[in-house]
A and B are shown apart, each in its own frame.
Chain A
Amino acid sequence: MRRLRHWGPGLLLLSPSLILLAVFVYGLIAWTTKVSLSDEHNALGSKGFVGLENYKNLFTNDIQDRFTHSLKNLLIFTVVFLVGAMFFGLLWAFLLERGIKGEGFFRTVYLFPMAVSFIASGVVWRWLMNPLKGDDAGGLNAVFGGLHLDFLQSTWWTNPNWGMASMAMPAVWQLSGYVMALFLAGFRGIPQELREAAAMDGASTYRLYRNVIFPQLTPVALSALIILGHMSMKMFDLIMSISGPQWLTEVPAVYVWQTLLTSDYAKAAAISIVLLLLVAVVIVPYLIYTNRVEKSR
Chain B
Amino acid sequence: MRFTRRAAVAVIGVAALLTASACGSSDDGGDGGSGSKKVEVFTWWADGGEKAGLDGLVAQFGTSCAGQEFVNGAVAGGAGANAKQVLASRLQQNDPPDTFQAHAGAELQDYILAGQVQDISADYDTWGLKTAFPAGLIQNLTVDGKIYSVPANIHRANVVWSNKKVVADAGITSDPTDLAGFIADLDKVKAKGIAAPLAIGKDWTQLMLFESVLITDLGAEKFTGLWKGTTPWDGADVTKAINDFKTLLTYTNKDRDALDWTDAEKLVMDGKAAYQLMGDWEAADLDAKKFADYAWFTFPGNGTTFQWLADSFVLPKGAKNVEGTKCWLKTVGSADGQKAFNTKKGSIPARTDASPADYPKYQQAAMADWKSATQVPSCAHGSACSQGWQGAANSALGAFSTNQDVAGLQKALAAAAAQFVKK
Contact = CB atoms under 8 A, between A and B. Distances in A.
A131 B254 contact: yes
Contacts of A246: 202-203, 257, 394-395, 398
A237 interface: no
Contacts of B403: 160
Nearest to B413: A63
Contact of A160 (B84, B114, B255, B402): B402
B85 interface: yes
Interface residues of B, number: 37
B257 A158 contact: yes
Contact of B398 (A131, A136, A248, A263): A248
Interface in B361-418: 386-388, 390-392, 394-396, 398-399, 401-403, 408, 411-412, 415-416
Given A246-B203, A262-B387, A262-B388, A66 B88 contact: no
A247 interface: yes
A12 interface: no
A243 B258 contact: yes
A63 B388 contact: no
B234 interface: no
B110 interface: yes
The SS class assigned to the B binding surface is helix
Contacts of B415: 63
Interface string A237-264: 0000001111110100000011111111
A242 to B, nearest CB: 9
B272 interface: yes
Size category, A interface? 20 to 34
B236 interface: no
Contact of B114 (A43, A155, A257): A43
Contacts of B416: 63
Contact of B258 (A42, A131, A160): A131
B113 interface: yes
Interface in A102-144: 130-132, 136
Contact of A66 (B114, B115, B395): B395
Q: Which of A66, A130, A244, A260 has the most B CB atoms < 10 Å from its CB?
A: A244
B412 A63 contact: yes
Contacts of A258: 391, 395
B44 to A, nearest CB: 14
Contacts of B396: 63-64, 247
A244 B391 contact: no
A43 B387 contact: no
Contacts of A245: 81
Nearest to A250: B395
Contacts, number: 87
Given A64-B395, A158-B255, A44 B402 contact: no
A63 B391 contact: no
Contact of B395 (A244, A247, A260): A247
A131 to B, nearest CB: 4
Contacts of B110: 42-43, 262-263
A281 B20 CA distance: 40
B62 to A, nearest CB: 34
Contacts of A63: 392, 395-396, 412, 415-416, 419
A259 B389 CA distance: 11
A248 B257 contact: yes
Contact of A130 (B114, B258, B394, B401): B258
B296 to A, nearest CB: 26
B53 to A, nearest CB: 25
Given A63-B392, A257-B85, A261-B84, A247 B113 contact: no
A86 B402 CA distance: 31
A130 B113 CA distance: 42
Contacts of B81: 244-245
Contacts of B412: 63-64
A130 B84 CA distance: 27
Contacts of A132: 254-255
A261 B85 contact: yes
B348 to A, nearest CB: 30
Contacts of A244: 81, 202
Contacts of A264: 388
A250 B401 CA distance: 14
A157 B202 CA distance: 13
B102 to A, nearest CB: 13
Contact of A64 (B116, B391, B408): B408
Interface in B60-99: 81, 84-85, 88
B116 to A, nearest CB: 8
Given A43-B114, A63-B395, A63-B415, A247 B408 contact: no
Given A42-B110, A42-B113, A43-B110, A247 B391 contact: no
Contacts of A250: 395
B336 to A, nearest CB: 35
Nearest to B405: A64
A44 B388 CA distance: 14
Contacts of A158: 255, 257-258
Contacts of A69: 399
A259 B419 CA distance: 14
B255 A247 contact: no
Given A64-B408, A155-B255, A262-B388, 9 more contacts: A63-B396, A63-B415, A64-B411, A247-B399, A247-B402, A259-B391, A260-B88, A262-B391, A263-B387
10 contacts: A42-B388, A63-B415, A157-B258, A246-B257, A247-B395, A247-B396, A250-B395, A262-B388, A262-B391, A264-B388
